[in-house]
Chain A
Amino acid sequence: MSDLWRLTAHEAHEGLRSKQFTAVELTESVLARMEAVEPRVHAYITTTAEVALEQAHQADARFAAGTATPLTGVPVAVKDLIVTAGVRTTAGSRILENFIPPYDSHVYEQLLRAGAVMVGKANMDEFAMGSSTEHSAFGPSHNPWNLSLVPGGSSGGSAAAVAAGECLVALGSDTGGSIRQPAALCGVVGMDPTYGRVSRFGIIAFGSSLDQVGPIGRDVEDVVTMADCISGHDPRDSTSNPEPLPDLRHYLGRDIKGLRIGVPKEYFIAGMEEGVKARIEEALAVFEGLGCIVDRDLSLPSTEHALAVYYLIAPSEASANLARYDGVKYGYSDRSHGTMWENMEHTRAGGFGAEVKRRIMLGTYALSAGYYDAYYLKAQKVRTVINQEFQEAFGRYDVLVTPTSPTVAFPIGAKVDDPYAMYLNDIYTLPASVAGLPSISVPCGLSEGLPVGLQIIGNFFDEPRIVMAAHAFERALGWANRLPEL
């Protein structure tokens, strides 16, 4: 029973349901695993063993009472920008180092309703700005496949926790690739739902027209279970989709013969590692073997502009969202200067890290008088062009398949001083983000011993087809729940 942390959430549910072990035993197994590996992985900013054990006891009571759900008693990591009442929530920032939220986010309420067990608040790049967790004010997380490498980011703590056995499933958030890229680099599954599928109520804001919460797990089924738990309309988020949506679990185990797959050639560019390219080519052959129609002739010519569009729009929105951190009502406050304005400027200087300052500056510039039309408005127009190209493609294809990241995990320190090199990590995940489309990253093998991720992009609210494709692919490859030795 000591290795219960190795189970997927659905395997754990079977064990709990058939009384092979209790939720408390499962949680204790994960907490012991955390004790053993967390000093090396640093997946968490805050661990919550006390909360977890109390929730595990409640979960066992629900199994006894017959009110358990598929997530009851399942140990979960929650990215530290998802507010949790009474549990410190930092967004990876010094400025929120001591912030104890007075309310729960929608997604955490949903986890509580399902009876899940929160074992900790996962590490992340400060305010989700980064692709490696190196921009966390609390130090970087380490990739469980090789501890000298980054786990990706910004949800790197969530992905590392899942891959290291420090939870069974996790919540992350994705603005430009922050779920999919770390999932790819850690060899796990991560889904960025359609913008609007999951309520942003209680999510510390970065780029409001892009932010979306989503799950990370060790197989497609677990990710689907989590997605179904957190989806649905929430009147507290005015961008929440009001239309009812079918549960995604109905789309597991489907035959995908005849599925039309477009492979955009703009994703196969200089800078892509040979090992990544080889795994993607093999993956396309797997889809052909499953009876899919794979067309490598698709062109999405504006793909190259997604990076500029994203890195103008997201920092612009961030510069407005982060204006609230002024040291007045909560958070770090430097009051050692003469005037209110000086205190505010020094609060923000001392509370924000280098990348957050850089993006606030970039966004403020793009929105400032004289530059708004040339940068922000232009980016919004090119965003429309990118959307239109995707919509044309979805007239001919059911899903699009691309690599998730041009490289496997890279060494800690390799890109942290070169902002543009760091931004290039997101080059394959940004276009779908800019368009608001759903996408999923699934492992497709190893290159030089490190995981490679395959990205599947669907049309608006067409999670069903990306789930069908991802699940069929995962089964054909036989990769699910493969954990590195630590």
Chain B
Amino acid sequence: MALTPEDVLHIAKLARIALTEAEVERLADQLSGILDHFSALSAVDTRSVEPTAHPLPLFNVMRADEVASSLPRAEILKNAPEQEDGFFRVRAVLE
């Protein structure tokens, strides 16, 4: 399984990570190598096997719908990179 630099750039776009050219080259090599090691999985017979998403058989865990206070706004905004009038300040989303 050889990943090309174009594949790496496509994945990086999906993952929203800017990569340098050197990183693209290195990741193409490293990810291809890692995926080669994983190819043995395809030999396991799983035709009659259900996938496991989760080790415990818990389903539809519900909690009581109770009103409770949320964290104080000022506490949350303390970690904000930029804030304005009690809101998170961000770059325009629509251009």
Q: Report the Cα distance A358→B31, complex, angstroms.
A: 8
Contacts of A209 in B (CB 8 A): 53-55
* Interface size of A in residues (CB-CB distance below 8 Å): 70
Q: Report the Cα distance A460→B58, complex, angstroms.
A: 14
Q: What is the CB-to-nearest-CB distance from B63 to chain A, in angstroms, rounded to a whole number?
A: 5
Q: What is the CB-to-nearest-CB distance from A180 to chain B, in angstroms, rounded to a whole number?
A: 17
Contact, CB under 8 Å: A340 / B17: no
B-contacting 9-mer, from A117-125, A159-167, A303-311, A477-485: A303-311
**Interface size bucket, B side?**
35 or more
Q: What is the CB-to-nearest-CB distance from A41 to chain B, in angstroms, rounded to a whole number?
A: 30
Q: Can you name the residue of chain A whose Cβ is closest to the Cβ of B60?
A: A238
Q: Report the Cα distance A349→B49, complex, angstroms.
A: 39
**Residue-by-residue, is B1-30 near A (CB-CB < 8 Å gives 1, otherwise 0)?**
001000110011011111100010001001
Contact, CB under 8 Å: A335 / B91: yes
Contact, CB under 8 Å: A346 / B18: yes
Contact, CB under 8 Å: B8 / A195: no
* Other-chain contact of B14, A304, A326, A368 (Cβ < 8 Å): A368
Contact, CB under 8 Å: B41 / A380: no
Binding site secondary structure of chain B = loop
**Number of A-B residue pairs having CB atoms within 8 Å of each other in the complex:** 162
Q: Report the Cα distance A437→B68, complex, angstroms.
A: 35
Q: Report the Cα distance A365→B50, complex, angstroms.
A: 22
Contact, CB under 8 Å: B56 / A361: no
The 8 A-B pairs with the shortest beta carbon distances in the complex, nearest first, are: A436-B55, A380-B51, A333-B81, A330-B79, A381-B46, A345-B18, A308-B38, A349-B18
17 contacts between A and B (CB under 8 A): A209-B54, A209-B55, A311-B34, A328-B81, A329-B80, A340-B92, A342-B18, A349-B18, A357-B23, A365-B3, A368-B11, A374-B42, A380-B51, A384-B49, A384-B50, A387-B55, A420-B33
Contact, CB under 8 Å: A358 / B18: no
Let me know if B67 is at the binding interface, CB within 8 A: no
Q: Report the Cα distance A141→B75, complex, angstroms.
A: 32
Q: Report the Cα distance A344→B71, complex, angstroms.
A: 26
Q: Report the Cα distance A326→B44, complex, angstroms.
A: 38
Let me know if A393 is at the binding interface, CB within 8 A: no
Known interface pairs A374-B42, A385-B49. Does A239 touch B58 (Cβ–Cβ under 8 Å)?
A: yes
Residues of A participating in the B interface, judged by any CB pair closer than 8 Å: 98-100, 102-103, 195-196, 209, 235, 238-239, 241-242, 302, 304-305, 307-309, 311-312, 319, 323, 326-333, 335, 339-346, 348-349, 352, 357-358, 360-362, 364-365, 368, 374-375, 377-385, 387, 419-420, 423, 435-437, 460
Contacts of B81 in A (CB 8 A): 327-328, 330-333, 335
Q: Can you name the residue of chain B whose Cβ is closest to the Cβ of A322?
A: B15
Contacts of A332 in B (CB 8 A): 81
Q: What is the CB-to-nearest-CB distance from A299 to chain B, in angstroms, rounded to a whole number?
A: 15
Contacts of B18 in A (CB 8 A): 342, 345-346, 348-349
Contact, CB under 8 Å: B95 / A419: no
Contact, CB under 8 Å: B80 / A330: yes
* Other-chain contact of B17, A100, A307, A330, A352 (Cβ < 8 Å): A352
Contacts of B93 in A (CB 8 A): 340
Contact, CB under 8 Å: A340 / B37: no
